[in-house]
């Protein structure tokens, strides 16, 4: 338990919410990209190869010589997978024949190759519209999904690291020193500079101090991650920072906001402006 004179700032819900959202986002993208690499893109390529068979059948149908012995012609054809077999699902039969529906001359007479494709793809649960200009996905595009998945998994791992690390930390002060989240012990007497320019907007201040060996070091006071500023909770981060300032006797760097209107008025009344005030 903390002593009465201590102010302890624990990790905030704001931090946990943000880090969990990042974890869900990176983890979700990682799984999504991994699926496209292993399943999604190869399956799309397989479907496109099937569609090409229907497209070829529609063109071959217009040849009278082929049409005479259509069933035999269809029975000799294989799905046009192309040379690169790595872009298709594992276990693909690269000697697979054209779908049997294409051997039905009566069906070919009644429906176009696009019409037959819609019937066939509907039974399979495949897309009925295929864009041959954009597909199939080449091997390098499929590998990109794997690389993207690895990057997202790494980012998710980083998020987990910061989640675990921050959960175990806090920042606090007592009557003698500031204890930074990283564990540094910083006596008030050793603080030589405080930069509070970001305190009002981001709840972030930087402390410059001398360690036990006399070297200058820096530490952060991060009120957004630790403590927060909720009045109903006593604004612990603000209370902690004010304790530091109250025991500090060094250089304080503050954000100076200039009043443009006052400066303009002063310039108008100055002798250098070439005008006189009445």
Q: Is residue 17 part of a domain?
A: yes
Q: How many domains does the chain have?
A: 2
pLDDT for the residue numbered 111: 87
Q: Is residue 61 part of a domain?
A: yes
- Let me know the angle formed at the C-alpha of 94 by 45 and 36, rounded to the nearest 5 degrees: 25
Q: Is residue 161 part of a domain?
A: no
Domain-terminating residue out of 144, 160, 188 = 144
pLDDT, one tens digit per residue, over 138-174 is 999 999 999 999 999 999 999 999 999 999 999 999 9
Q: Is residue 162 part of a domain?
A: no
List phi, psi (to 5°) of 208: -110, 130
**191 and 235 together in one domain:** yes
**210 and 127 together in one domain:** no
Instruction: Give the mean model confidence (pLDDT) for residues 221-235.
Output: 93
Q: Detail the DSSP E strand segments found in the chain.
A: 7-9, 171-173, 177-179, 185-187, 191-195, 204-210, 216-222, 251-253
Q: How far is CA 113 from the centre of its chain?
A: 43
Q: Which domain holds residue 210?
A: 178-260
Residue 56 CB neighbours (<10 A)? 16
pLDDT, one tens digit per residue, over 174-221 is 999 999 999 999 999 999 999 999 999 999 999 999 998 899 999 999
Q: Is residue 271 part of a domain?
A: no
**200 and 79 together in one domain:** no
Q: Band the pLDDT of 273: cuts 50, 70, 90.
A: very low
**27 and 120 together in one domain:** yes
Q: Band the pLDDT of 255: cuts 50, 70, 90.
A: confident
β-partners of residue 178 are: 173, 186
**133 and 199 together in one domain:** no
């Amino acid at each position: 338990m903390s002593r009465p004179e201590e102010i302890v700032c624990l990790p905030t819900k704001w931090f946990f919410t943000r880090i969990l959202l990042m974890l869900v986002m990176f983890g979700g993208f990682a799984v999504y990209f991994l699926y496209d690499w292993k399943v999604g893109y190869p399956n799309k390529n397989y479907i496109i190869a099937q569609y090409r068979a229907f497209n070829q059948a529609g063109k071959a149908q217009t040849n009278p010589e082929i049409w005479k012995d259509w069933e035999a012609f269809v029975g000799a054809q294989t799905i046009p997978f192309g040379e690169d077999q790595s872009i298709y699902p594992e276990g693909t039969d690269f000697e697979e024949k054209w779908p049997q529906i294409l051997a039905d001359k009566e069906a070919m007479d009644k429906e176009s190759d696009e019409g037959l494709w819609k019937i066939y793809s509907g039974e399979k649960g495949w897309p009925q519209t295929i864009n041959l200009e954009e597909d199939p996905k080449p091997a390098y595009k499929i590998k990109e999904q794997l690389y993207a998945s690895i990057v997202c998994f790494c980012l998710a791992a980083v998020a987990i690291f910061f989640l675990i690390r921050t959960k175990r930390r806090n920042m606090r002060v007592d009557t003698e020193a500031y204890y930074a989240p990283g564990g540094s012990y910083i006596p008030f007497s050793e603080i030589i500079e405080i930069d509070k320019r970001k305190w009002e907007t981001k709840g972030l201040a930087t402390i410059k101090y001398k360690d036990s060996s006399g070297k200058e070091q820096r530490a952060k006071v991060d009120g957004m991650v630790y403590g927060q500023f909720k009045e109903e909770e006593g604004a612990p981060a603000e209370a902690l920072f004010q304790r530091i300032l109250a025991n500090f006797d060094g250089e304080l760097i503050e954000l100076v906001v200039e009043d443009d209107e006052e400066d303009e008025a002063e310039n108008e009344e100055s002798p250098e402006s070439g005008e006189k005030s009445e």
